[in-house]
Amino acid sequence: MDSKVVVITGASSGIGAALARQLGAQGNRLGLGARREELLRKVSAEAGTNSIPVVTDVTRRQDVEHLRDVALREYGQVDVWVNNAGRGSSKIVMDLTDEDIHGIIDVVLKSVIYGMQAIVPHFQQRGEGHIINVSSFMGRVPLMKYRSIYSAAKSGVNVLSANLRMDLRVKYPGIHISAVMPGIVDTDFHRIAQTPIQFKAGERAGATIVETAEEVAAKIVSLIDHPAAELYTGAQMADIARQYFQDVGAFEEHMVCR
């Protein structure tokens, strides 16, 4: 990979932190955003000297724009913007409160809109750039009922990614929009979201294998070199998605992850 300027939200832990460390090790210049300042500064130090930590609440449009402005001021350009910030929820549809709904929509969906709207004008001026929206396989195939509002929000991320890609395709073919869909990843996400079943890397969860944050991050690094519209990080995920949409009712009746 040629050295690039990469901005990553949700960079203080999990996939975002792993991605920052891998990109930093390759000599890329980084703008890292997250709310938890101490953890963010630790990850920034691990990523190397060409890394700037910027405390960012992605639910606030002005914070996201500030992250962009800092990266542009320090580096003069942004080549790749990774909307990675997220949070989980472990409630079925009928148990959702207004607080649950707004909390997930703000962090998972609105933050992606804020990120895209913040950086696309810069990419349009340059005629090139790459937005990577970290979504979830649960947004394509809602295997787990207790991920209800989370899956719905991630589905929205997939749709908005496609909408923006089509908006830009004719006039700005040098701007790439990618949606990355990991499955179950062994991070603090599950503990924070109070997931009823805890998973470890390498274990089988239904038809998929639990991944590490480092494995997912490595695939995102490859995606930066070879842009694609969508990336399933698990080998069998594309086949599972095809099975799901061929007959949703039959798939739900026989699915393993309930």
Tell me the catalytic residues: 150
Please count the other Cβ atoms lying within 10 Å of the Cβ belonging to residue 190: 19
Helix/strand/coil for 232: strand
Q: Distance between CA atoms of 70 and 80, rounded to whole angstroms?
A: 15
Q: Work out the burial of residue 218: count CB atoms within 10 Å of its CB; fewer than 13 is exposed, 13-18 middle, 19 or more buried.
A: middle
> Where would I find the H helices in the chain?
14-25, 37-47, 61-75, 98-104, 111-126, 148-168, 189-192, 213-225, 237-246, 248-254
Residue type, 229: A
CA dihedral 120, 124, 130, 133 (to 10 degrees): 20
Tokens of 145: 């009922």
Q: 58, 115 in Cβ contact below 8 A? A: yes
Cα 195 from Cα 117, distance rounded (Å): 32
Q: To 10 degrees, the CA torsion angle through 89, 20, 109, 211?
A: -50
Q: How many Å apart are CA 23 and CA 241, to the nearest integer?
A: 30
Q: How many CB atoms are closer than 10 A to CB 90?
A: 18
